[in-house]
Structure 1
Amino acid sequence: MHSRDVLKRHAGLVDQMATKLGVDLQEAAIGGDVSMDQLSDAVLRCTGCSNPEHCQGLLDQHASVSHTPEYCRNQDLLSKLMP
């Protein structure tokens, strides 16, 4: 079981990455494009990432991004949700 702080950190990374890609996860959930279970799974996948510091650095440096990093465990989900 992951600690609350770890889950919060990775939930933030997932949300920030989605936002940088132009995806509003809340709207996607309301619109039925993604379920709450899928979002929970995305956070859990993110906790298994070996490079969250690089990801955070990328998110901090760029106003927007056109794609996730190669190592992103949520690449498929986020790509499907992109406008």
Structure 2
Amino acid sequence: MPKAQNLRRHVALMDNAARRVGMDLQEAAIRGALRVDEISDAVVRCTNCPKPDACEAWLMKGPGTKGDLPEFCRNKVMFSRVGAVLT
């Protein structure tokens, strides 16, 4: 998969994962719960994940909760930290 296409895929996965657990990453950044460079780092972690197909399957399950991220998610800690700040 070309680099740009892979990057777009993982940006979408990350954004969709955030939405699935009730989080808006842009709003988190605006409110100071997440720095823009942290979002960039999270995208890099996501692009290095060997399980994007499993992530897409998880996303198809519908709405979840903040603690509902799959164990394999490389951004689970970041999502949990930001979720705790936003609540």
TM-score of the pair, normalised by structure 2:
0.86
Is the contact made by 1:10 and 1:46 (CA closer than 8 Å) also made in structure 2?
yes
1:14-55 deviations in Å (ceiling 9; x for gaps): 111111111111100111111111001101000111111011
- In structure 1, distance between residues paired with 2:43 and 2:75: 9
SS at match of 1:61: coil
Name the % identity: 40
Matching of residues 2-81 of structure 1 within 5 Å: 3-65=3-65, 66-81=67-82
Name the aligned partner's letter for residue 76 of structure 2.
Q
- Computed over aligned residues only, the root mean square deviation of the Cα atoms, in angstroms, reads 1.3
Shift of 1:60: 1.4
Shift of 1:63: 2.4
- In structure 2, distance between residues paired with 1:12 and 1:43: 10
SS at match of 2:81: helix
Runs of 4 or more above 3 Å deviation? none
Query: Which structure has greater helix proportion?
Result: 2
Aligned length: 82
TM-score of the pair, normalised by structure 1:
0.90
